[in-house]
Amino acid sequence: MQISSIISAIGNNSSIYPLLLRDCGIEVPTKIVLTYNQNKKDKEVAKLAARERFLDEYATSAVWLGGIPLIDYISNWLIKKKGFNPEINPKLFKEEKLQGLKYNIEKFKNLAPEETNDLIRISSPENLKKYKKMLSYKFLASTIIPIAFMGFILPKMIFASSAKRIEKIKQKRQTQNSPIQNPIMRPYFSSEESSKVWNGFKLGNSNNISFGGFSIAKLSSVSTQDKMMITDGGYTVGRIATARKKNEALDVGFRLSGMMFLNFVAPKWIEKALNKISGVTLDPAILADKSFISKVKKGIFILPEDNNPETLIKFVDKNPDSMFVTLANKFKKVKMLKNNIRDPRAYIDFEELGNFRNSIEEFMQKAPSGKKFKNYLLKSKILKSTNILLNVGISSFLLAYALPKATFAFRKLVTGSELEPGLAPDVQKAENA
């Protein structure tokens, strides 16, 4: 893979790649070290806190970055087994001027008969209802299962493990200091509560849970990253609910709220700011595309006349072999079939496609002719690549260092102590036993 393609992947703030790099490669190891250092005034608290952070962060990352795509894959397989195609975008259920279920069936019935049959298969009221229901289950599975594990089951498991270690510390101190044994410290949750966790996770009374099939079906079309954001919200609520003490709930709420902002919102703000400063918005992979550069240099790259939806869709359908459509397909602004016909099952976000077109036009308008073009191209590549790496660096610094430090300051303000609020009181009680 070319360096430009790697930089392009980690610079796509709508994908999981920047999250994977920041989360597993930079953020988690740094947070473990900072957690230990913050609690090192008490070695036992420091060791337990670092251990909890290690187990928590990496187990959460495994579910967060691998669990949701895996559940999506299994759900899609089950939908196919029922005779439906999961590639049909639910946004097509609402008829628009230029796309929709009925509109696309009529438009593509002779151009892409096999794909159109997928649409026809769900177009009857009965099948459409079944398909929406399956999409609802898919969305719920890919959000509730990770939320249940990360927000409720995992912390209970970690707390139970820490409780056993604290009990060992207490018993060791009691043996050293006195033959009289103090009453055994109560675990963080009772055996009855523990059995509830292992017997299954329930969100209230299932008979009272009500979802509109269509609204959930619409949600099922959101990206993997958006599902992660939804899951993260539920995970935050779960962590606050399962906190061992009130101060720990406040500590966790502050940290996870900051983490959500810095993972999903801040990188996009940073990207916009850096793009505005540099004046370069095109992806490095496009700037490294020899065919694209050759056409721009020769002045033969053809764009839609404007970003009006009718103009864009007309251009895509009439010029499927054009470089613009090839790039739009590569960067998932449109979806083309192998026979160069637009996939009737896919939905087009005209705002995204229009912005993509405008970015190319802006580059072409700024590009000088002759010998200066090469320098302009090189400068644009360097600026955009630097922007991406800066974005990863800034957001990683904020997540891995600034947020933990802010959390520690918040903790000190609220509790008056620098030590982990969920561990310190019980560890110190055990040490003094």
For residue 342, what are the β-bridge partners?
336
- Tokens for 190? 């009772």
Nearest in space to 163 (alpha carbons), one of 181, 185, 191, 194: 185
Q: In this predicted model, what pLDDT tens digit does every residue of 357-410 receive, in sequence order? A: 999 999 999 999 888 999 999 999 999 989 988 988 898 899 889 999 999 999
97's CB contacts (< 8 A; 6+ apart) are 309
Mean confidence (pLDDT) of the chain: 82
Q: Residue 23: CA atoms inside 13 Å, Cβ hemisphere, count?
A: 23
Those residues whose C-beta lies under 8 Å from the C-beta of residue 313, and which sit 6 or more positions away, are 98, 99, 348, 350
SS3 at position 321: coil
What the block records as the tokens of 418 is 């620098």
Q: Does residue 313 contact residue 98 with C-beta atoms inside 8 Å?
A: yes
106 Cα distance to chain centroid: 36
Q: Quick check: 41 and 418 in contact, CB under 8 A?
A: yes
**Encoded tokens for 338:** 């192998």
- Write the pLDDT tens digit of every residue in 85-100: 999 999 999 999 999 9
Q: What tens digit of pLDDT does each residue of 147-193 get?
A: 888 888 988 998 898 889 888 888 877 776 654 343 333 333 343 44
The 8-class DSSP code of residue 186 comes to P
- Model pTM greater than 0.85? no
CA-only gyration radius of the chain, Å: 27
The most confident of 35-49, 210-224, 324-338, by mean pLDDT: 324-338
Q: pLDDT tens digits, residue range 286-330?
A: 998 999 999 999 989 999 999 999 999 999 999 999 999 999 999
Name 120's Cβ contacts closer than 8 Å, sequence gap at least 6. 105
Residue 31's pLDDT band (cuts 50, 70, 90): confident
Contact 259, 239 (CB under 8 A): no
